[in-house]
Amino acid sequence: MGVAVTADLDDRNPALAEALWKALPYRSLQGHALVAGHHLFHVAPVHDLLHLPAAHRVDRRTVPDGTVFCSKLQHLGIKYGELTEPMPATPVGRVVPDDLDALAEAGRAVWESVYASKKPVVAEVRRAGEPGGHRVPRLRAAGPEADALIGELHAETERIWLEPPAELVDVHDGRIASGAGSYGTVLTTMLFVNGETRPLGYCTYSGLVRAAREGMPLESLRHMARTLIAVPAEFLAYCGLEKLGAFTERVMDSLELIRTRDDFAAVMAHMALYVNCLGGWNLHLFPWQVGDHLARAGAAR
């Protein structure tokens, strides 16, 4: 959009700030909160955000506009106005006061992109005064099977990072090979795809990474993966995300071949980033404007 804002990082959550700093520069599909209020967020290609400690927490509603957050949902977020959701958040910096008007301008434009126009907005995050650019970092595994799987996940994530995945485009255009959608409906299937994809990335895969980094025994990690992953992934494959289903089968087949917690965490981190990327595109593609005839009581629109 040609809008740029500058933010200063601070020492409230230094581990998160340092991880973000080391990951720069990168680009990502820019999203907007759909429930919480005036909040921008995007998936950041920073694996360590899933598990790094964050001691300083705030209620997002109470902090100044322009506050920048990093979260275990693998998001970089910026508050630019009123928020209603009482979610604890972990701040890492703040947009400089002179750029708050530009931030609000960007916020309104991104809302239009996500809610109505569907024209993607790509954000570039870089160190001030340095060139931009982009990369999705690749983790390594000691085991050859795990490392090969990571390589394929990394390649697919890079492929869809800034281009909408064909499987999701097909779902939103009503091309669903399985026939999912009772009585030929499409909106219902899109709604359930959104409802399953977000927690699979935000909670399941990111939770498995945290459990591995916090010392859960490997056999327990395998058990939790088998318990949590298969059912939502099978449903999403039926709804059209067949590539996600195939990757999930590969993950399940590889569990007994993974010999260390580090390798387990690396595989799950790449699955988290892949699924969170799918989730970001799904939020962008979803036809939220079909609800224009519905409004919260007393809301000004």
Residue pLDDT, tens place only, 167-221: 999 999 999 999 999 999 999 999 999 999 999 999 999 999 999 999 999 999 9
Residues 52 and 160 both lie in one domain: no
In this predicted structure, the answer to whether residue 301 has a pLDDT above a threshold of 80 is no
Nearest-Å Rg of the Cα atoms of the chain is 19
87 φ, ψ (degrees, to nearest 5): -100, 125
Please determine, for residue 138, whether its predicted confidence score (pLDDT) is greater than 80.
yes
Q: What is the CATH number of the domain that holds 51?
A: 2.40.100.20
Distance of alpha carbon 70 from alpha carbon 4, whole angstroms: 19
Tell me the HSE value of 41 on the side-chain side, using a 13 A CA sphere: 24
- The per-residue pLDDT for 297 is 83
Say whether both 152 and 109 belong to one domain.
no
Q: Is residue 253 within 8 Å of residue 149, measured between CB atoms? A: no
Residue-level pLDDT at 292: 81
Separation of alpha carbons 97 and 238, rounded Å: 48
DSSP helix, strand, coil percent of the chain (3-state; round to 5):
50, 15, 35
Query: Whole-angstrom Cα distance, residue 90 to residue 98?
Result: 23
Distance CA 234, CA 139 (A): 26
Band (pLDDT 50/70/90 cuts) for residue 269 is: very high
User: Pseudo-torsion of CA 248, 30, 202, 78, nearest 10°?
Assistant: 160
Contact between 257 and 84 under an 8 Å Cβ cutoff? The reply is no
One domain, residues 154 and 126: no
Spatial separation of the C-alpha atoms in residues 301 and 281, rounded to whole Å: 25
The reply to whether 86 falls in a domain is yes
Residue 170: the pLDDT is 96
Q: And the tokens for 239?
A: 């709804």
Whether residue 118 sits in one domain with residue 189: no
Give the count of domains, the chain. Answer: 2
152 in the same domain as 117: no
pLDDT band (50, 70, 90) for residue 298: confident
Spacing of C-alpha 13 from chain mean position: 20
130 and 27 share one domain: yes
Same domain, 110 and 194: no
One domain, residues 261 and 148: yes
- Tokens found for residue 287: 């036809």
What average pLDDT does range 70-92 have in this prediction? 95
CB 65 within 8 A of CB 81: yes
Last residue of a domain, one of 87, 109, 135: 135
In this structure, are 205 and 241 located in the same domain? yes
93 DSSP 8-state letter: E
**CA–CA distance, 205 with 213 (Å, rounded to integer):** 13
CA–CA gap between residue 165 and residue 170 (Å, rounded)? 9
The Cα-based distances of 85 to 32, 69, 105, 195, 293 in angstroms read: 14, 15, 22, 18, 23
The verdict on 154 and 91 lying in the same domain is no
Q: What is the pTM of this model?
A: 0.96
For 298, left (φ over 0), alpha (ψ -120 to 50), or beta? Answer: left
| Residues contacting 249, CB < 8 A, separation 6+ | none
Is 212 found in the same domain as 119? no
Domain span at 169: 144-288
In this structure, are 148 and 267 located in the same domain?
Answer: yes
